[in-house]
Amino acid sequence: MAYFPPLNLAAITRLAVGFRPGPRINVFLVHLIVGMAILEAASTSPIISRAIPDYTTAEAGNPFVEGWYADPDTEIYDGLYWVYPTSSYAYDEQTYLDAFSSPDLINWTKHPNILTVANVTWATRAVWAPAPISRNGKYYLYFGANDIQEGEPEEGKIGGIGVAVADKPQGPYVDAIGKPLIGEYHNGAQPIDQDVFIDDVDGQAYIYYGGHSHANVAKLNEDMISIGTFDDGTQFKEITPENYVEGSQMIKRNGIYYLMWSEGGWTGPDYSVSYAMSESPLGPFNRVAKILQQDSAVAKGSGHNGVIHIPDTDIWYIVYHRRPLSETDGNHRVLAYDRMYFNDDGTIKPIEMLVKDNFANGEMFDWTTYGGSWSVVDQRLNVAISDTATAVLDTNFTDLVFDATVAITDGNGDAGLVFRATDLSTGADGFKGYYVGFSPAGTVNVLKADAGTWTSLSEASVGVSSGTEYRVRVTAVGSQINVFIGDTADPKITATDGSFVSGATGVGVRSAGAKFGAVSVAKP
């Protein structure tokens, strides 16, 4: 909620009519002026009571935006959270950049084509890894282009790190200098994957960058479009930490400088994020630990990160790209964020990629449906009455704790949770896995689904009514399956079966319509 300074309505009225209020005042004019004053107050007053986004992960689901994107970097402009990613396609198709903004990290607005090669005369392809920052009333976007290789600048090929400028966070951005800001290799570092950081100690701006397993830092001059010089007369200092590959990112917390970077190959499952700590923005940066890596139950290829720090708090999020488990194309990457926590000594705790979806954004980006008509309405995933229908997440959990709300909205069949599901492409009724179904007839049933054959493993009577929402928890550890309803500490029903070890999680119906919410899947 915005804070509006108290309005002196009498003064506004006098302004409207030229004298103190009286019986002959033009009421319409007064209302018009008062309304304009309120709008002006709303547009110029600071936001002082907006809810702080204090989440454990993207509560409305990862990916938090739709589409193939990678290499995100972040900024906060005018009370909005901004994410600037690479458009993740083949190099020759990477000719533009999009951006996304959000007031709450849940609802995101897409800003397409904020920078295109049409506004950068020397860039033709491979426009990568934008890094945003603002200074002196201008917005700057640093980017890599053309993917130049070692020796190519000497052959006359142009590419490297460019800088574009705009009057607004959403652009349009145009080339600021008509050539690369850094167009050659220095200390073996490919000029890509830059991050720009302004130190709060002295206002000095730095650019951290580098591919091909070398990292450099350079000063940026006050104009933000030229490289400065260090006291020793050099312009580029190598700061390569152990195992560095690419993807520089600099943050500062409690006076400590954290250099983050990516390790492994970006097309492979072992892509990951590590970090170093230093008391100086110039290092030395000695590797501390790896903090983000693939999780065989959630996603692979997790890396190349940005960071969002909620102002005036110690709430931090790591924003990164990852590859869905079922994807094999190296360019098929999506954007995600998770909470980043610190230990008492300032070190960063390993990141846990959580699986949640409360549907607060009205979307179902990571869900694949089989049968039925699905939609998100009022923060619930709805399915119209169907013979069989399932919606699943691209996960592969073995042991799990699966929470969700379930409400039957139509029909006399059942609705419930699907887990350890495989062979999903065969259709809504053809998968292999487990299903816990709730029926308005007053039963809960644990079933084994095996390519169209349904076998009841356990059944119990429960007070289930159509139209009523129930909070359900399923735990599956080894061959033991427990089902809890509401806040009960004891399972309502148990079953034992070892037919299926791992697979996808989701929801489904049989001869029913239903709505589902507050989905969370985690390891025990």
71, 175, 263, 357: the active-site residue: 71
> Cβ(149)–Cβ(170) under 8 Å?
no
SS (H, E, C) 53-120: CCCCECCCCCCCCCCCEEEEEEEEECCEEEEEEEECCCHHHCCEEEEEEECCCCCCEEEEEEEEHHHC
User: Could you tell me which residues come within 8 angstroms of residue 483 by beta carbon, excluding any fewer than 6 positions away?
Assistant: 436, 444, 446, 472, 473, 474, 491, 492, 493, 494
Query: Other C-beta atoms within 10 Å of 402: how many?
Result: 24
59, 98, 193, 246: the active-site residue: 246
- Written as six digits, the tokens of 505 are 């999680």
> Cβ(340)–Cβ(319) under 8 Å?
no
Q: Break the chain down into helix, strand, coil percent, rounded to 5.
A: 5, 50, 45
CA distance 430 to 364: 23
Query: Other C-beta atoms within 10 Å of 270: how many?
Result: 14
DSSP alpha helix (H) spans, 109-260: none
For residue 505, list its beta bridge partners: 393
Give the DSSP letter of residue 7: P
Q: Residue 328: left if φ>0, alpha if ψ -120 to 50, beta else—which one? A: alpha
Tell me whether residue 270 is one of the annotated catalytic residues: no
Strand order across the 195-198 sheet = 195-198, 205-209, 216-220, 237-238
User: Could you tell me which residues come within 8 angstroms of residue 102 by beta carbon, excluding any fewer than 6 positions away?
Assistant: 80, 81, 83, 108, 109
Give the DSSP letter of residue 265: -
Tell me whether residue 71 is one of the annotated catalytic residues: yes
CA distance 55 to 356: 11
Query: Other C-beta atoms within 10 Å of 73: how many?
Result: 28
| Helix (H/G/I), strand (E/B), else coil: 383 | strand
Query: Other C-beta atoms within 10 Å of 80: how many?
Result: 15
Inter-CA distances, 215 with 189, 245, 272, Å: 6, 8, 16
Give the DSSP letter of residue 190: B
> What amino acid positions are annotated as catalytic residues?
71, 246
